A and B are shown apart, each in its own frame.
Chain A
Amino acid sequence: MSLLRTNNLTKKFGGLTAVSKFAMDIKEMEIVGLIGPNGAGKTTVFNMLTGVYKPTKGSIFFDGRDITGIKSHEVTKLGIARTFQNIRLFKELSVLDNVLVANHLRLKSNILFSVLRTPNYIRQEKHMYEKSMELLKEVGLDDVKDEMASSLPYGKQRRLEIARALATDPKILLLDEPAAGMNPQESFELMEFIHDIRDKFDLTIFMIEHHMQVVMGVCEKIYVLDHGVTIAEGTPKEIQNDEKVIEAYLGVD
């Protein structure tokens, strides 16, 4: 069943068309990649999907619902979580607090009940804590839960960001260059990790990635953007042999 679908999605910044007529269809439990040279408009697609940018034209359907132009925090509430290309953790909060914050959107108590610590609130807080600890264990960060987020090494910060995104109970996870700055060994572990969380949380994953080994190894379907235009889509094998893709990446004489 189709989970996230876009139709004729276009974004213009003044005279520049960053993304033009982008159409995609992601089915449940799929792992889909979005690749393209620098400046192709990949992150712009992500920003439109998550409500950061309003599309100039076109529409986005999530879980059978038109979500075009709704606010970013509402998109997250519906079940689309994301990570960022340049890690955006809450630097001065502890590792555990970073994940706990992402539970806040599901909190069913208002601020008064929270300050009064009603039994209902305490139950929710306990549930948040347990869920967050479980997620931290999943990404192997439970032993550093009290450290400040900014004190973690780069690779762990990436994993913390994924754990934080998972804490919002998403149906689909958008990963913006998760393997950036990782060595081959780490990227390999990341591929396994992505498969694991997909199966464990029944997730659909949509990722931007430059690291070809990761993309080809983990994705079942790939979209290729160049200058905002979709130049190819298909399985990794089809993409690898597509002439237009090779042209876009290597250039022509």
Chain B
Amino acid sequence: MKDKRKILTIISLILFVILLFIMNRTFDSYEIRILNLCGIYVVLGLSLNLINGFTGLFSLGHAGFMAIGAYTSAIFTMSPELKQMNYYLKPIIPIFKNIQLPFLPSLLIAGLMAGLIGFLIAAPVLRLKDDYLAIATLGFSEIIRVVFTNTQSLTNGALGLKGLPKYTNVWWSWGMAIGTVIFMVLLIKGSYGRALMAIREDEIAAEAMGIDLFRHKIISFTIGSFLAGVGGALLAHLLGTIDPLMFRFLLTFNILLIVVLGGIGSITGTVISAVVVTVLMEFLRVLDGTMDLGFIRISGIPGMRMVVFSALLMFVILFYQRGIMGTKEFTWDWILNRKKKYTQIKG
């Protein structure tokens, strides 16, 4: 039985890669960009779900860690000429002037940097709980943004960085997404994952069972920040332009929306909702423009689609409090058992 599931997983993975290949060939550049965004939001959603959903730490600092990842990898991938062009008001710090690395090492450094900052922030912040933790992490995320606005010789301040090499393609974004999904499944199904979920369920009992709360919370927070950094770097090299204003609270909100809609504490839920939300976000752009309903003309209101998302969020919270999937996961057993039940009824 177990082998059967493994084979099913591998087959569907291969099918998915073939599908990606076909989409990569047939889609136009706009559609491919959405496809890339989907993959990146899968990474980001899962990283926030690890912290918020599985460990039960209400963190709102994701945009900050993404900013760290985005800027780190931007600094490491830009060519010296590009740096000179970007930093025209104030030259970049000399050590970084001539450094240029390929994408993969830059991506890793971006993740490690975000993870390191996450680790350093975690020590003081994780002594807080619930809403206090949320406020503190939100504060730190804003601090990171403000620091980036003011360190002109490192980040080029409010001018942002332009013309970044657009390394992120379907294989990078979805490769990272699939890698993150596999990592999360292995983590959550293992002993450490159970310990994290125990902390979410009941801290006092978890500690009484010998789980070092502080250590495990830090582990979770650091891994989450690492993945956020990687996601941020992927995003930077998809858009080609970054500036501090990009990493405002709204970005964290978008990821939180994905996590809550998909189910707090569900890997498959996050994957599904990351794709659905990203596609809808583009699809609903129509609402932002001018609408002609025949008898009445509504002039465009920018941000109208966010209203739809807020309404959707409220609807989900009201009727499916735990998101689409709750803490449940989509498993092969689920399908196989259904089929069995169906054939039983039929037979």
Contacts and interface: CB of A to CB of B under 8 A. Distances in A.
Interface in A15-38: none
B10 to A, nearest CB: 16
Contact of B190 (A50, A102, A105, A114): A114
Contacts of A84: 204-205, 208
Contacts of A252: none
Interface residues of B, number: 24
Contact of B201 (A52, A93, A164, A168): A93
Interface stretch (B70-78, B96-104, B192-200): B192-200
Given A88-B204, A114-B187, A117-B186, A97 B194 contact: yes
A92 B327 contact: yes
Given A93-B197, A115-B187, A117-B186, A164 B192 contact: no
A114 B184 CA distance: 12
A101 B211 contact: yes
Contacts of B207: 72-73, 76
Given A91-B201, A115-B187, A104 B194 contact: yes
Contacts of A128: 191
A117 B193 CA distance: 13
Contacts of A121: 190
Given A90-B201, A93-B197, A115-B186, A100 B191 contact: yes
Contacts of B202: 88-91
Interface in B185-244: 186-187, 190-192, 194-195, 197-198, 201-202, 204-213, 219
A147 interface: no
Interface in A85-121: 88-93, 97, 100-105, 107, 109, 111, 114-117, 121
For chain A, give the interface size range.
35 or more
Interface in B161-192: 183, 186-187, 190-192
A77 interface: yes
Contacts of A233: none
Q: Most B CB atoms within 10 A — which of A100, A104, A109, A168?
A: A104
A5 interface: no
Nearest to A103: B191
Q: Most A CB atoms within 10 A — which of B187, B191, B209?
A: B209
A88 to B, nearest CB: 4
Nearest to A110: B192
A164 B209 contact: yes
Contacts of B190: 114-115, 117, 121, 125
B218 to A, nearest CB: 11
B210 A73 contact: yes
Contacts of A72: 207-208
Nearest to A128: B191
B205 A90 contact: yes
A168 B208 CA distance: 10
A89 B201 CA distance: 8
Contact of B191 (A50, A114, A164, A165): A114
B195 A115 contact: no
A11 interface: no
B29 to A, nearest CB: 36
Q: Closest 6 interchain pairs by CB?
A: A105-B210, A76-B210, A90-B201, A88-B205, A114-B190, A101-B198
Interface of B: 183, 186-187, 190-192, 194-195, 197-198, 201-202, 204-213, 219, 327
7 contacts: A73-B211, A88-B205, A89-B202, A93-B194, A101-B197, A104-B195, A124-B191
